[in-house]
Structure 1
Amino acid sequence: MQTLVGWHIEMEFREEGARTAAAALLRLADGSELRAHGFTSRHPADSEQLRVGEEIAAARALNDLASQLLTKAHAEIQSGSTVPTHPLM
C-alpha cells in the first residue's frame, strides 16, 4: 500500500537596497512548523538582478530548514532508542 504525504513550504522575500532576505515556513504532517531565514547582499559593482538575490537567499533559507529537519529527525530517533545515536548531519 502506498501512502502519499505532502508538506507545504511558504517563502517570502524582502528587498532592501542591495540586501535580500528570505523567510521560509515549513508545515509538517505532524502539525509542527519550522521557520528559517536566508540573506544575501549584492556587491555595489554588480548589476541589479532581484531574481538572483531571491534565489540565493531562498537557497540559504532552505539549507537552514534542511539542517533543522535533520536535527528534528535525530531527536525523534534518539527519543525512541536506548542506544546512543549520532547526529544525522
Structure 2
Amino acid sequence: MKEKRWSVDIVIDEHEGRTRAEARLKAEAATLKGTGLARLNPSDPDVPEIGDELATARALADLAHQLIEATAADIEKVTKSPSDLKS
C-alpha cells in the first residue's frame, strides 16, 4: 500500500485587534485554502495566543467544509447521482 502525504500550512497575521489565519491544504490533486478570523473584544485582556487559536480553528473548519464540498462534487461526477455529504 502506498502512503500518501497531505500537508496543511497555517499562516497567521494580526492587525488592529483582529487575527486572521489561513489554512492551506496541499494534496496530490488539489490545493484548498480556508480562512478564519478572530477579533479582540475591547473589554477582554489582549492574549494573542487566544486569537491565534480561534482564528486557526475557524480556518481549519472552513477548510474541512470546502474539502467535504469537493468530495461531494467528486462523488456526484463519478456516480452521476446526488451525494449525501453536503448535509
Which residue is equivalent to 2:76? 78
Structure 2 length normalisation: TM-score? Answer: 0.90
Pairing of 1:1-89 with structure 2 (within 5 A):
2-30=1-29, 32-89=30-87
Structure 1 length normalisation: TM-score? Answer: 0.88
How big is each residue's C-alpha offset from its partner over 1:47-87, in whole Å with a ceiling of 9 and x where there is no partner? 11111100000000000000000000001100011333233
Change in Cα spacing, 1:78 to 1:46, as seen in structure 2 (3 Å) is same
How big is each residue's C-alpha offset from its partner over 1:15-63, in whole Å with a ceiling of 9 and x where there is no partner? 1121111111111122x11011100111111111111100000000000
In structure 1, give the amino acid aligned to 2:81. Answer: V
Q: Give unmatched runs, 5+ long, in structure 1.
A: none
Quote the sequence identity (%).
Answer: 30
Distance (Å, rounded) in 2 between the aligned partners of 1:61 and 1:82: 31
Q: Give unmatched runs, 5+ long, in structure 2.
A: none
Q: Offset at 1:6?
A: 1.4
TM superposition outliers: structure 1 runs of 4+ over 2 Å: 82-89
Is the partner of 2:63 in helix, strand or coil?
Answer: helix
Aligned residues: 87
- Calculate the aligned-residue CA RMSD, in Å: 1.3
